[in-house]
Structure 1
Amino acid sequence: MPLQDALFRPVRAGNAFEETVERLMQAIRLGVVGPGERLPAERDLATRLGVSRVTLREAIRSLQDAGYVESRRGRYGGTFVNSPLPVPAPDRRVDPAELADALTLRWAVETGAAECAAGRALGPVERRNLLSRLAECRDASVDSYRRKDSRLHLAIAEATGSASLTAAVADARTRVNALLDRIPLLPPNLAHSNEQHELIVTHIVAGDPEAARRAMAEHLDGTALLLRGFLS
């Protein structure tokens, strides 16, 4: 199988935008589409990835804003990989083992927290706190989004009633935030994250542990895709 076919295979539906960004970044970082070269035509690429052209355009626009590609018009136009590519500052380089360890820890403790929170009989104060943090995150500006996002995830951990689990989620979140600070904020991802947050909290409040765990796992997978795409 040609390498392009391997990289540009259909993405999964749950995190289509995030996985599309990851696939494009893999192709760029591995030199499958090198500096100065053109990405496959939009229609062809959307078909190969199994995503809508709207999703693909959002992904390309995000990489354009981050300095990885540029769009050119005209007969010989298209989306071209920039030359040279952005060079991460030395303090933004990440050890792959460190990234994998942080993501594994976060997945373990946060999916568990969502499941445990949904399995408890939450009181009115806990429910209000969850819904309040959800609203704050949904209404947050780009500049304050990560802080409000962290507060929502910690509120979910607090809803478990376990101080130890809450502390573990706080530690995991601190590590992941340090990694997230090294990649650009992508507005389509923030909108998708808010939709996923809504689903997670809905399942917790409804008392459905398995659904809450699944929703949290899918949410964390989306973040992991972006981190691996930009930092691996």
Structure 2
Amino acid sequence: MDLAGGRDARTDWRGGAIFRPVRTGNAFEETVERILEAIKLGVLGHGDRLPPERELAVRLGISRETLREAIRSLRQAGFVDSRRGRYGGTFITYRLPPPDLGDLRRAVQDLGAELEDALTYRMVLETGASEQAARRVLTEEQRAYLRERLDVLEDAPAEEYRQLDSRFHLAIAELTGSPSLAARITESRMRLNDLLNAIPMLPRNIDHACEQHRTMVRTILAGDAEGARRSTEEHLEATAALLRGFLG
């Protein structure tokens, strides 16, 4: 727990999917994108602290000046705030807006004909990730980490549920041991992020999702690769059906 009040990303974030080395020549733009991904996907929530400047610059493979410029721009846009002192650092100030059907329709319009492609791509990536995670011999730390992400999600208040749901799915991606796969799943989640966040919160749907999440964790930890794939497929199909229902 961060002494300033939120989680400390140095201990909470396992790091493979988002804070990976910048790949393009547009270091400033991609650094802003990576930090926004971490915020919008729930890796970092309101009140959480970014990793220390020196550590984050190394992980992203950029200069500290580029990182400072990116943080300065995000501070001006209202996503983060920097504090000085013993418990200082850069903290997340962004809060996810409440679900809204108007936002859902706009997100669908933005995707256009790519919607079904995005859902299919997600299905292939995340079912494969669950299967691969189940096939691996996980350490006790990794097993505890997955249980922790499930527990945090099940205890989440409504306003934080969507972000912590994304964080749960990214945790499974991390456990595959493939940074490339984890990165693709992160990109897939961002492609659908606005759309998923805009789906209204239905208590029965959340209860059903929790049951599916428990089955996913149970099968992964039991080494049941086929069960992990099947339970993940059922979960993603249910989400897609709910989405199509609201759009219909």
- Scaled by the length of structure 2, what TM-score is found? 0.56
Shift in CA distance, 125/179, structure 1 to aligned 2, threshold 3 Å: same
Q: Which residue of 2 aligns with 1:106?
A: 122
Q: Which residue of 2 aligns with 1:194?
A: 210
The answer to whether residue 244 in structure 2 is matched with residue 228 in structure 1 is: yes
Shift in CA distance, 156/92, structure 1 to aligned 2, threshold 3 Å: closer
The answer to whether residue 119 in structure 2 is matched with residue 119 in structure 1 is: no
Q: Which residue of 1 aligns with 2:226?
A: 210
Q: Give 2:176's match in structure 1, choosing from 160, 165, 171.
A: 160
8 A Cα contact 2:142 2:175, kept in partner: yes
Once the two structures are superposed, the pairs formed by residues 50-129 of structure 1 within 5 Å of their partners are 91-94=106-109, 95-129=111-145
Secondary structure at 1:144 match in 2: helix
Percent identical residues:
50
- CA–CA distance in structure 2, aligned partners of residues 231 and 101 of structure 1: 16
- Stretches of structure 2 lacking an aligned partner (at least 5 in a row): 1-98
How much is the aligned-residue C-alpha RMSD, in angstroms?
2.2
AA at the equivalent of 2:106 = D
- CA–CA distance in structure 2, aligned partners of residues 198 and 231 of structure 1: 28
- Scaled by the length of structure 1, what TM-score is found? 0.60
AA at the equivalent of 1:91 = R
Shift in CA distance, 89/206, structure 1 to aligned 2, threshold 3 Å: closer
Question: CA offsets, 1:38-70, max 9 Å, x none?
Answer: xxxxxxxxxxxxxxxxxxxxxxxxxxxx99xxx
- CA–CA distance in structure 1, aligned partners of residues 189 and 102 of structure 2: 26
- Structure number with the bigger relative contact order (C-alpha 8 A, sep ≥ 6) is 1
Shift in CA distance, 141/155, structure 1 to aligned 2, threshold 3 Å: same
Greater than 6 Å deviation, 4+ residue runs? 86-90
8 A Cα contact 2:105 2:247, kept in partner: no
Question: CA offsets, 1:187-228, max 9 Å, x none?
Answer: 211111011000000000000100000000000000000111
Deviation at 1:182, TM superposition (A): 2.9
Secondary structure at 1:228 match in 2: helix
AA at the equivalent of 2:153 = C
- CA–CA distance in structure 2, aligned partners of residues 203 and 155 of structure 1: 15
8 A Cα contact 2:104 2:198, kept in partner: no
Shift in CA distance, 158/92, structure 1 to aligned 2, threshold 3 Å: closer
AA at the equivalent of 1:152 = F
Q: Give 1:146's match in structure 2, choosing from 162, 173, 178.
A: 162
Q: Which moved more, 1:114-123 or 1:175-184?
A: 175-184
